[in-house]
Structure 1
């Protein structure tokens, strides 16, 4: 990605001492720095092989319509994707997207809200045979057009490369290198379907170009996106961050009255209360909370925080919401702008991956989402259940005590995944839906556990993503030399 040319726009502000108007110069951020946070979501190596595992009663796993494929308890190669040149993957709540080097997007999963971006009704339930499956299986088969990966329809071909894909629970969104954003689906709130765009679109079933009229600077373009459960964040080339979607948990960093919901159903800038202008460098999101790294070296968080998943306060408040971005309580040795590689977050927990391979974890611990054993949590960082005195959450970012060097991290609703520099896959957290890929026990896992089976024993896993009750992993074949090294390590 070539950095955009630096240019200046001017906004007038009044100096109340001199009563004269002064000019404030606003310059673009260095897009090369922002592109780094996108590039970690794109594979530049061999085309990825894709493995999905977990529970797929709503077509989440993408292995076709047969009922026997509704539960995959260990990683399994998805043969429908085997011949595609996949370079990125992402899981939403109940659907997934993959991006190919041919600039095409494939989707699968439940399509109730149009999130797949293609027709899944016409000629549905005609079981496919191209993967060696039989068509006369028992009752309970899935919709074949939802459960089988297929190309998203009606995407433009003239916008250059797709540089990022995101998925919420009920929407899909992609970003082109020229700054165009295409999205489809809808947003839901506590009452049901909220809508998609203002009061003009309720459910968008085909890819739709987001009007960029909301940009404060007309020279700006969108350079990074992030998605939550039912909201989307967009960062522009001047470091201004915009939020769009459902608002009830504070995830848009502003208070909205219910009777004004539709009027506010379009991207609007997030306001950081600061004496100086805040320019955002990178943005990340959990289901109902979010994070922003600024060029002024601060990590901000906002949204739902009742389990300390924002990491902003040691003292918790039941149902606590943060409407105005607050500073995250990072360890003193962590430099947000220089050290943070990636932030992943689920419903009630968050994970910060640093460039040195260490992970900071915080939030809810009821289902071991944060990967910390009770004796690994400093007493001053623990929030105890008043009755049982067990550690219910850890509201302060705390290092996972391990020598493993992690290279990528992801979060499902209540489980976590990470890859290592040696290509291993680790998982922890809620295990009942088999989204940990550790086999038939289906038990919760307290601390990071290595996932290994025949399907991935000779694979280097480099990409992971977590959905509501399933997971996706991507990787490529090890060389013979790397296989020998791994076998020696396993002995």
Structure 2
């Protein structure tokens, strides 16, 4: 996420936003209710500079560089936070957050979470499994502060299919919502769901820096590059009730979780995959409890170029390389790979999102369950003189 005030006064930042894939609920921001097989350059004049996107089942949350919140797409559970259950085809400001600065957000299948600069957590949308964390199973059409964290400082929220994870300033991780597959990380007591945050066990002495959730999976990355996962088992393995560290000599810095797979980005810019997206399980990924390293498969189709960012949808994956290229692979039924067709791809394929030029500052990709976004920032010099 971009830091506030990082653009010098004598430079102006241009922004391009592209979307593709499933779009029948308005989640592509094209003002059309249809799938798109190729990247669409959006005209988002109402949306200022984007600091981050969060893409869920069929809705999108955009945070601006000044901490405002816009949402669009499917709103049938109140996940857009506008006080109604309507779908919206174009970004709309969430007026509830007037006076707040929102710095991080997450989108689940049909619920949303928002973190403010003061460390408060807000949630809205489907609460039928307790995934909003308010002590009940009510759904909310407008964001509400999670009072459980009134005396805590929340750093990050992650939203899965029916559960939520929260990372606190003291590196503690909490979970709430559906726990049927172990995704809340509690002891195996048969808990199906909880509607108040509970501490995830097994991470007490771990300095967690990132959390991720999707489907019935939960994951975390530690400061020393270790990967922990819990919830539904990968590669047809058993469910995991408490966080398990993947024994590996690799050092990881980012994780992106899908419904049946996880992507891991190493500090050296290499990508590894855990699980599968096309229901084709190579023998090397068959579960070996005493040989977890064998679960990992290197995604080696980047021609030796380092990868800077990864993202995972329900059944597809995306990555950005250090030379500014966007690549996608996995399930393609809705066009979410952006290749002009609905074919599946077993290896990363280049997506055309305009030409790369010297002014390209960065490109980021974001995956919803069956759709993808790319945001490109370009640096353009203004007419004001450059200070010496």
TM-score, normalization by structure 1? 0.68
Question: Counterpart of 1:204?
Answer: 140
Secondary structure of 1:147 counterpart:
strand
Greater RCO (Cα-Cα under 8 Å, separation 6 or more): 2
Distance in 2 (alpha carbons) for counterparts of 1:203 and 1:344: 27
Alpha-carbon distance change, 43 to 112 in structure 1, aligned in 2, over 3 angstroms: farther
Q: Bigger radius of gyration, 1 or 2?
A: 1
TM-score (structure 2 length as normaliser): 0.84
Q: Which residue of 1 aligns with 2:274?
A: 362
Match of 2:368 among 457, 464, 467: 467
Q: Segments of 4+ in structure 1 off by > 6 A?
A: 40-43
Partner of 1:408: 309
Give the distance between the partners of 1:343 and 1:154, measured in 2 at CA: 31
**Offset at 1:434?**
0.2
Number of residue equivalences: 366
Counterpart of 1:80?
Answer: 44
Give the alignment partner of residue 348 of structure 1, picking from 256, 260, 283. 260
Relative to its length, the structure with more helix (as a share) is: 1
Q: CA deviation at 1:41?
A: 9.6
Change (3 A) 1:251 1:456: farther
Between the aligned partners of 2:225 and 2:81, the Cα distance in structure 1 is: 38
Q: How does 1:380-419 map to 2 (within 5 A)?
A: 381-383=284-286, 396-401=295-300, 402=302, 403-419=304-320
Matches of 1:87 and 1:296, distance apart in 2:
26
Task: Report if aligned partners of 1:115, 1:171 keep a CA contact under 8 Å in 2.
Answer: yes
C-alpha deviation, 1:42, in angstroms: 8.9
Q: What's 1:148 paired with?
A: 90
Residues 219-249 of structure 1, C-alpha deviations (whole Å, 9 max, x = no match): x411222222222211112221101222112
Partner of 1:178: 118
State the distance in 2 between where 1:117 and 1:83 align: 17
Q: Deviation at 1:456?
A: 5.3
Equivalent position of 1:167 in the other structure: 107
2:337 to 397, 415, 436: 436
Alignment RMSD = 3.0
- Which structure 2 residues correspond to residues 48-197 of structure 1 after superposition, within 5 A? 48-64=15-31, 66-67=32-33, 70-81=34-45, 84-119=48-83, 146-157=88-99, 159=100, 161-188=101-128, 196-197=132-133
CA distance in 1, matches of 2:157, 2:4: 14
Counterpart-to-counterpart distance in 2, 1:170 and 1:41: 28
Where does structure 2 lack aligned partners over 5 or more consecutive residues?
8-12, 288-292, 382-388
> Paired residue for 1:11?
none
Aligned to 1:246: 178
Q: For 1:88, what is the secondary structure of its paired residue? A: strand
